[in-house]
Structure 1
Amino acid sequence: MKNVLFLFILLNFSIGFSQTESPEKIVQIQLEAYNNRNIDAFLATYDDNIKIYDFPNTLSYEGKEKMRKIYSSLFKEVPNLLCEIKKRIIIGNKVIDEEYVRVNNEFVSAVAIYEVKNNKIIKVTFIH
């Protein structure tokens, strides 16, 4: 009985441990999906109740379905969409990216502050 209990605890610990990704990894997966214009992979990194803010605290929109509408259009309409990271800072569960974004022939600099909880991005604040 002790062996069965030990195996059960060990299995549960290893499953829970292997399913946890660092905030940096989650944000990097999101970035790669964005650059590949893969809407499903992109949205898989976000919480269903994602909140998007303009700095310092103006709510721009919330919810994954709203995000799907916005980014589906962007991915379809901008074939050369690309985001490059100029600098990345990680502080706890927050990832701060200095981004250089190409949209058609226009380039935009921005900062994105991602907050990650339970392997999902729950909040993004943009400074642009």
Structure 2
Amino acid sequence: MVNSNLLTINRQLKAYNSKNLEEFIVNFSEDIKVYEFPEKLLYEGKEQFRLFYSQRFLNSNLLNCIINNRIILNEIIVDHEIIHGIIENPVEVIVLYSFKNNLIFRIDFLK
């Protein structure tokens, strides 16, 4: 049986790498919250989320995310990501994606 959250996370990664904002946004809940670990709220709600990523996609021609490692546990997926195209050197982060109803409702970035 395929984990439906895994399908969602793979869809959002594909959309991110192709900078397709509409295909990217549909993978997140209306009340999405994004944190810098442990509890620094960066933005919340789909409109703030959309605004942030529309600028990221527009301003980052070489944007690309590679998953170095992935852990799946119940309603959480943890990715070790290497992101190119944000700054000159690749950015390495751990990202915790929390799911509800097959949508991502919380993201925690560990830098």
Given candidates 91, 97, 117, the residue that maps to 2:100 is 117
Q: Summarize the alignment of residues 73-88 of structure 1 with structure 2, pairs less than 5 Å apart.
A: 73-88=55-70
1-side partners of 2:89 and 2:50: how far apart? 23
**Structure 2: gaps spanning 5 or more residues:** none
Given candidates 42, 54, 57, the residue that maps to 1:60 is 42
What TM-score do the two structures reach when normalised by structure 2?
0.93
What TM-score do the two structures reach when normalised by structure 1?
0.81
Q: Which has the larger radius of gyration?
A: 1
SS in 1 for 2:54: helix
C-alpha deviation, 1:60, in angstroms: 1.2
Q: Summarize the alignment of residues 14-25 of structure 1 with structure 2, pairs less than 5 Å apart.
A: 22-25=4-7
Q: In proportion to residue count, which structure has more helix?
A: 1
Over the residues paired in the alignment, what is the CA RMSD in angstroms?
1.4
The one-letter amino acid paired with 2:90 is: F
The one-letter amino acid paired with 2:42 is: S
Structure 1 segments of 4 or more deviating over 4 A? none
1:107 and 2:90 are equivalent in the alignment: yes
**Equivalent residue for 1:97?**
79
Task: Among all aligned residue pairs of Structure 1 and Structure 2, give the percentage whose two residues are the same amino acid.
Answer: 35
2-side partners of 1:46 and 1:113: how far apart? 14
- The number of residues matched between the two structures is 109
**Equivalent residue for 1:15?**
none
Post-superposition CA distance 1:58-103 (Å, at most 9, x none): 1111011001111101101111100000000000010000000002
The one-letter amino acid paired with 1:66 is: Q
